[in-house]
Amino acid sequence: MPTATTAPSPSRWITLAGFLLLVIGGGMAIGYATRPDAWYAALAKPSFNPPNWLFAPVWTMLYVLVAIAGWRTWQRLPASATAMRLWALQLVLNFAWSPTFFGLHRVDLAFGVVVAMLASIAAFIAVSARRDRVSALLFAPYLAWVGFATLLNGAIWRLN
């Protein structure tokens, strides 16, 4: 049982709630605003394109992991630390991808965004592994999924 000196303070839980709200809420809002439409349905897609229903549950789970990793990083490092800046960069790129792909219908620019996002996720893992292995591990499934998304985006670009 945690003692009074080791129990997490209420402000830590409020901060976690803020990270969860930012990441999940932001991701859901952008996803809702840029839902796939007739343009996307008409695109040629590779044989390994997952069914549309899979994306929402996968992204929700990944957003929870991203939020927890960001919260852990925020708790352990100053906001100006490289790991925190990389965490913020990957989130900005993540939130930019859907409007670029689905909103602007720019598969080519979206590919550049997802490649930059993949690089920032890998960099976050590399930097975080030294100070907070848990945060680095929380990003591993995210790296795998965004790696797959990069391949998928590239294939859609090539096919269209």
Per-residue model confidence as pLDDT tens digits over 104-138: 999 999 999 999 999 999 999 999 998 899 999 99
Domain boundaries, the chain: 12-41+57-159
Q: How confident is the model at residue 3 (pLDDT cuts 50, 70, 90)?
A: very low
* Whether the predicted pLDDT of 13 surpasses 60: yes
Multiple choice CATH, 12-41+57-159, 2.40.50.100, 3.40.50.2300, 1.10.357.10, 1.20.1260.100: 1.20.1260.100
Residue among 54, 69, 58, 86 nearest 19 (CA): 69
Q: Which residue has the tokens 């809002």?
A: 29
* Whether the predicted pLDDT of 99 surpasses 80: yes
pLDDT (0 to 100) of residue 6: 57
pTM for the model stands at: 0.91
Rounded to an integer, the average pLDDT of 89-107 is: 98
* Whether the predicted pLDDT of 2 surpasses 60: no
| Alpha carbon 65 to chain centroid, angstroms | 9
pLDDT (0 to 100) of residue 7: 57
pLDDT (0 to 100) of residue 9: 75
pLDDT (0 to 100) of residue 1: 46
Tell me the per-residue pLDDT of 27-78, one tens digit each, with 9 for 90 and over.
999 999 999 999 999 999 999 999 999 999 999 999 999 999 999 999 987 7
Q: What are phi and psi of 102, to 5 degrees?
A: -85, -35
